[in-house]
Structure 1
Amino acid sequence: MAPPSPELVDELIEEIVLRFPPDNPAALIRAALVCKSWCRLISSPRFRRRFREFHRSAPMLGFLLDLWDNDDKSNIARFVSIAFSSSSSSSFPPRADRRGFALDARHGRVLLYTTHPSSQQHAPFLLDYCFVVWNPITDEQKELPVLTWYPHSPAWKAAVLCAGATCDHLACRNDEPFLVVLVSVAIDDVFVLVYSSETGTWTGPTAHIHLGPTLVYYAVIPMGPSLLAGGQLHFAIEDGRRIISYDIAECFLSVITTPRSHCVGNMGLVTAEGGGLGVVGVEGYKLYYWSPVLGPDDDGWDWKLGMVIELDMMLSIDIGVPTTSFHVVGFAEGWDLVFVCGSDGVYAAALESGQVTKVHGTTHFFGIVPYMSFYTPDLARSVLSPPSAHQ
């Protein structure tokens, strides 16, 4: 019997490696190191395209923690690699801490910002807001034009997303255009500014809405990034009491009231079943999840209570100890995963299974931004150099 042709062997190898779990990039890299032919196969653009099309959902490679650096006396964003399953191991190289805060992450990019005294010498009371869009995979970044504002007004949140018309958003390339959407709250009005990488400029306001009396207008900046669902960017404000939604295509703003509950002040956003908008909240040792439904007589929004996770039953904690408490601090877009901070670290709670996993031991941070992207050997070559100091 004649041996199989090299082409057939390559096809079989590709079909096997194609089924490697995407949250275990180390396995792909080890396979690429077996021999030159395997390396060529697994590092090819064809394999990368097939790998992401086969798995569809990008894995979570880690998250960024917004921290205070006591040595430099400055804010930093630190990338933390994670592996959720026992069969997976993170092979994502360490990254240098980035100066400033991580605000948002989507489509392989991270949005960072810092502030500096205004470059306008005639207005020393202003601040320059400096935004940077960073790709942790390739370690490339782009600085956006500076925005100059008053330091205490308005309050705001921002999001980054790919704007490629033909991109499937499974593995967005660096040359794909992107948008940065900034939603600002000034007393009781909301307006939107948009940066386009294609024009290299900020435009706006592209939309405006009267919010009405706010409870605490500066509470527009809770921990946690935005949520992209149904062609809209959603931002939690007022400690989760309300949600600002921005329709990207129509440049239209709307406001949604979150479920009335005792979780107010400890609520956040999450991707609902089917990819829509969901809400989570913590009261005591219980994590609640609500999904949207049509209101009575098909009039407006309403909320349906779904999963309730008993955190005290899933974790070994001392019930009743005054320091034992949980707070919603973030979520993973496109996943049913919510991050809560306890008195001994950060936990990831899966809404569908109810499983709770400890992912970090720190409690001293300002925010957490999960990062999802495919990481294949063709991309690994660009990130094998050792990290430098703060960038």
Structure 2
Amino acid sequence: MREDGEMTGRRPHLAAAPETPLDNEDILDQILLRLLPRPSSLPRSSLVCKRWRRLVSDPGFLRRFRAHHRKVPLLGYFAHDYQCGNICFVPALDPPDRIPTALFSLPINKRSNITGCRHGRVLVINRNRKFLVWDPVIGAQRQVYFPMAFRGDKYMSNGAVMCAAGDPGHVHGCCHSSPFQVVMLGHGAERLLACVYSSETDAWGNPISIMLPQNSMVVSADCPKNTLVGNSICWLLTGENVAILEFDLGRQSLALIEAPQDPYYNTFDSDDYQLMITPAEGGGLGFLALLGFNIWLWKRKTDSDGVVGWVLKNTIELSSVILPRPCVGRSPPAILGLAEDDNVMFLLIDGDGIFMINLDSTQFKKLPVDRSMYLHTCHPFTSFYPSGPLAFTLSPLPRMSGSA
């Protein structure tokens, strides 16, 4: 319209709508990076639109997502169900993040048993002198036969699996294509023996040994049987006394570390005690003793004079932490396992069920229990899930063939 009021034939110019933050892919990328690292977060985001799906399924975004969070989610735990003969998965997260139990299931024969989980892999021992390394998320399996050094009077005590990726900034929890190592521990009449398998070379290294203490210590039957602390795998040794066997992966050396003294008897020789090696808060080696409903936590420290020793850092009274309060008159709690990255202990409390206890914050969570399954040990499992641009669905993975 002209100033004199006469209409013109031109259409009025419409101003372009202002750009919102979500229209800027750099800003949107930073927003999506801050989603919780839960199994449902990225799949749900991918359903918003094609643009979001393209962003969250990009391999570069997935690497940045894992690097941003670093904290790998604890999905649940594995246990050996002796009744059906399978390795069963028990989820620890609530819906919609709960991983279906049937998704992670592995049939094994009667001569096999699970010995641990770490960095997204499960290690199974077969008494026919071989290991099975299983990646439940992608269904990959590899068989590893025992080394020659463990024949004769050397026999297997325990095994451990871990990621061997040495890339700067590598985040454990999506190590499907990364190399891994298996550490095997055994003992003969006089010596403890350790050996390391590398998936990169598909070979075992040279065996490393140390003299057994005179009090005939053996790897503790308590769980967990080994703990990764820094660059060392540690085992609890029990016998007339208690000690810690440390295998330094970098130095390829074995050493014995004295355990802390208990507050009552000076040595942990009471059958009522349950003992466990833990990563200490802030790093380093920790030690836990459970007696009844009381927990003592130690940390190994170096004082100003350079003397290395144990310091009692905390005590936890379970009857005052867990609600509703467990009945003290019942059987004492039983340690089932430890999630190293979270410093979370799994406890079986008779009549109340299985509890996850964070040893730093003392926060707890009760997990569902299958009353038909006998539990002696559980193996916590941490991993980013789903993983990869093609895994944006919670449908079951392809069925695996064969059994351990």
- TM class by shorter-chain length? 0.7 to 0.9
> 2:347 matched to 1:340?
yes
- Tell me the residue number matched to 1:4: 19
> 2:90 matched to 1:80?
yes
Match among 294, 301, 325 for residue 302 of structure 2: 294
- Tell me the residue number matched to 2:313: 306
> 2:157 matched to 1:156?
yes
Structural mapping, 1:17-36, within 5 Å: 17-22=32-37, 24-36=38-50
Q: TM-score, normalised to structure 2's length?
A: 0.81
Q: 1:313 to 1:389 in 2, by over 3 A?
A: farther
Q: CA separation in 1, counterparts of 2:153 and 2:338?
A: 27
Q: 1:169 to 1:318 in 2, by over 3 A?
A: closer
- Tell me the residue number matched to 1:272: 280
Q: 1:139 to 1:388 in 2, by over 3 A?
A: closer
Q: 1:130 to 1:26 in 2, by over 3 A?
A: same
State the superposition RMSD in angstroms: 3.0
Structural mapping, 1:130-141, within 5 Å: 130-141=130-141
Q: CA separation in 1, counterparts of 2:253 and 2:88?
A: 34
Q: Which amino acid aligns with 1:111?
A: L
For 1:274-316, what per-residue CA distance to the aligned partner results, in whole angstroms no more than 9, with x for missing partners? 22211112111112211112369433x3211122221112233
> 2:192 matched to 1:195?
no
- Tell me the residue number matched to 1:349: 357
Match among 81, 97, 108 for residue 120 of structure 2: 108
Q: TM-score, normalised to structure 1's length?
A: 0.83
Structure 2 residue runs of 5 or longer lacking an equivalent are 1-15
Higher mean displacement: 160-169 or 358-367: 358-367
Q: 1:208 to 1:247 in 2, by over 3 A?
A: same
Q: CA separation in 2, counterparts of 1:54 and 1:156?
A: 38
Q: CA separation in 2, counterparts of 1:216 and 1:257?
A: 12
Q: CA separation in 2, counterparts of 1:341 and 1:6?
A: 49
Q: 1:212 to 1:91 in 2, by over 3 A?
A: closer
Q: Between Structure 1 and Structure 2, how many residues are aligned?
A: 368
SS of 1:275's equivalent in the other structure is: coil
- Tell me the residue number matched to 2:166: 165
Q: 1:366 to 1:186 in 2, by over 3 A?
A: farther
SS of 2:40's equivalent in the other structure is: helix
- Tell me the residue number matched to 1:41: 55
Structural mapping, 1:167-186, within 5 Å: 168-186=170-188
- Tell me the residue number matched to 2:12: none
For 1:89-136, what per-residue CA distance to the aligned partner results, in whole angstroms no more than 9, with x for missing partners? 324672223423222222222211222xxxxxxxxxxxx222111111
Tell me by how many angstroms 1:193 deviates: 1.4
Residues 153 and 188 in structure 2, CA contact (< 8 A), matched pair in contact too: no
Residues 277 and 291 in structure 1, CA contact (< 8 A), matched pair in contact too: yes
Q: 1:266 to 1:10 in 2, by over 3 A?
A: same
Structure with greater strand share of residues: 1
SS of 2:82's equivalent in the other structure is: strand
Structural mapping, 1:225-264, within 5 Å: 225-238=225-238, 241-261=242-262
Structural mapping, 1:354-369, within 5 Å: 354-361=362-369, 364-369=374-379
Residues 129 and 146 in structure 1, CA contact (< 8 A), matched pair in contact too: yes
Identity %: 27
SS of 2:224's equivalent in the other structure is: coil
Higher Rg of the two aligned structures:
2
Q: CA separation in 2, counterparts of 1:162 and 1:291?
A: 25
Tell me by how many angstroms 1:387 deviates: 4.9
